[in-house]
A = this chain, B = another copy of it.
Amino acid sequence: MYVLVNDSIISGEEATLKITDLAIQRGYGIFDFLKTVAGKPIFLEDHLDRFYSSAEQMRLPVKQSRQDLTNSLVSLIAKNNLSESGVRITLTGGYSPDGFNISSESNLFVTQTDFVINRDFDKSIGLMTYEYQRQFASAKTLDYLKAIWLQPVLKEKGADDILYHDNGMLRECPRANFFLVNEKDEVLTSKSNILKGVTRKHILKMGSRNFKIDERELTMDDLRHAKEVFITSTTKNILPVTKIDGRLIGDGKPGPVTKVLMKEFDGYIYG
């Protein structure tokens, strides 16, 4: 697979950074991740919006203009010639002269991976709740320490993903947003101190003729009374959650509201 490193498209095997890069020295960088369907990037402008926003929030300069970056992405995607794929744009603090301050030239690289999204609507997962608040919540930073550290705990508990909560407030999964269906059949997603996902945004934008869909401050108590739960992300679209901390949600199968939304969102994306 080819990758873009700064201004050059090279073979992925050759793609390296010097060890003085601030990502390697101090974990400092941001990224974004989008998918292609039938060789075309989906929600590209939203991902670029968020990429440049994360960079700005973290004070990282981006040498590439939005137009240049778009052109590079198009070239790379054409060259790799995959139908369905994930595309990751990463920006690091660059080669810091003192190993601590952000370089005036950040490093940018783009990788692409073969990736087919699940469209089996009967699949569901279990979550484990965990008290944690991501730092720099609204920026997509490289900081996944807690999530990676928790992977063996997840396996031990027989769960598939983590639901972060903080001081009783529901937040997000490490790589996905959280939604629940309450007793009034309202579809609600956590409102603050989260990374606002592009899939989440489009579900809110899409709306539904059948249900109210909104963002709201959600609590652990709302979770206990939820009729249905699902998570959303670029790689998952809508993924039903049927178990939380070992307790079944509803009858342990994807719920009717979730299934309607999955169908509607599938049409929204794949036309």
Q: How large is the interface on A (under 10, 10 to 19, 20 to 34, 35 or more residues)?
A: 35 or more
Q: Check B27–A101 contact: CB distance below 8 A.
A: no
How near does chain B come to A56, taking the closest CB pair, in angstroms? Answer: 12
Distance of A41 from chain B, by nearest CB (Å)? 19
How far is A15 from B23 in the complex, measured between Cα atoms in Å? Answer: 15
Q: How many copies does the complex hold?
A: 2
A102 near B21 (CB under 8 angstroms)? no
Which of B17, B18, B100, B146 is in CB contact (< 8 Å) with A148?
Answer: B100
Q: Identify whether the interface residues of A are mostly helix, strand, loop, or mixed.
A: mixed
Interface flags for A1-45 (1: CB within 8 Å of B; 0: not) read 001010000000101111101111111110000000000000000
**Complex contact A111–B19 (CB within 8 A):** yes
Q: Is A54 an interface residue (CB 8 A)?
A: no
- For A23, the chain B residues whose CB sits under 8 A away are 23-24, 27
Given contacts A27-B144, A27-B145, A145-B135, contact A59 B152 (CB under 8 A): yes
Given contacts A58-B149, A59-B149, contact A144 B19 (CB under 8 A): no
